[in-house]
């Protein structure tokens, strides 16, 4: 597809479980498209170089820097932003843990960190502190010192493991 730099192209994607469409110039960063065209303002724009991690979203399930991706590259893809975490009943378990462990202060970087943490926990059910710190090393936060974030992620991992074990035991008891 060839397009002029000032031409607007229709981009259709699945955002937080709903099909959405908007228009973007070929050079529009995904983070700007999400915020300004689709209204997903939880995606923050920090460095615009992929370094700080504030713009992290999930693209087809993988944590991705939305400032390093063009909106047109998201055509037909599944995107999840921080808005996808909270359900109808309130904050997700990860968001609640961040709150409990004082893992945020100003909150600017929090959305991107939450998205990386959620993707990490999907891949690593029983992480070590070192693994969590390594994952968080891809994010810059000037306020917290990261300790609360590490505690929150480890807390959620433990709680999710315990819930999985309890569910498995319940299923076994039902089969007897």
Give the DSSP H/E element, type plus range, for residue 103: none
Phi, psi of 25 (to 5 degrees): -70, 155
Q: Which two tokens stand for residue 30?
A: 């995904």
**Residue whose token pair is 């039902």:** 174
Q: Which two tokens stand for residue 35?
A: 């915020």
pLDDT of amino acid 168: 75
Residue ranges of the chain whose pLDDT lies below 50: none
Chain Cα centroid distance, residue 18 = 16
> For the chain, what's the residue count?
176
Sign of CA dihedral 136, 69, 81, 118: negative
pLDDT of amino acid 55: 97
Q: Could you give the C-alpha distances from 118 to 85, 123, 124, in angstroms and in order?
A: 9, 9, 10
Q: Model pTM greater than 0.95?
A: no
pLDDT of amino acid 15: 98
Sign of CA dihedral 101, 105, 111, 117: negative
């Amino acid at each position: 597809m060839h397009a002029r730099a000032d031409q607007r192209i229709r981009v259709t994607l699945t955002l937080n479980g709903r099909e959405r469409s908007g228009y973007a110039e070929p050079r529009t960063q995904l983070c700007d498209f999400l915020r300004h065209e689709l209204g997903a303002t939880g995606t923050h724009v920090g460095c615009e170089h992929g370094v700080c991690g504030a713009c992290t979203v999930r693209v087809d399930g993988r944590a991705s820097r939305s400032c390093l991706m063009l909106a047109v590259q998201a055509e037909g893809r599944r995107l999840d932003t921080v808005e996808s975490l909270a359900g109808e009943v309130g904050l997700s378990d990860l968001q609640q843990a961040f709150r409990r462990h004082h893992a945020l202060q100003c909150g600017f970087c929090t959305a991107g960190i939450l998205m990386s943490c959620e993707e990490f926990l999907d891949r690593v059910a029983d992480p070590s502190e070192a693994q969590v710190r390594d994952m968080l090393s891809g994010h810059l936060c000037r306020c917290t010192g990261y300790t609360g974030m590490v505690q929150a992620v480890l807390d959620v991992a433990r709680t999710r493991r315990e819930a999985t074990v309890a569910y498995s035991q319940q299923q076994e008891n039902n089969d007897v």
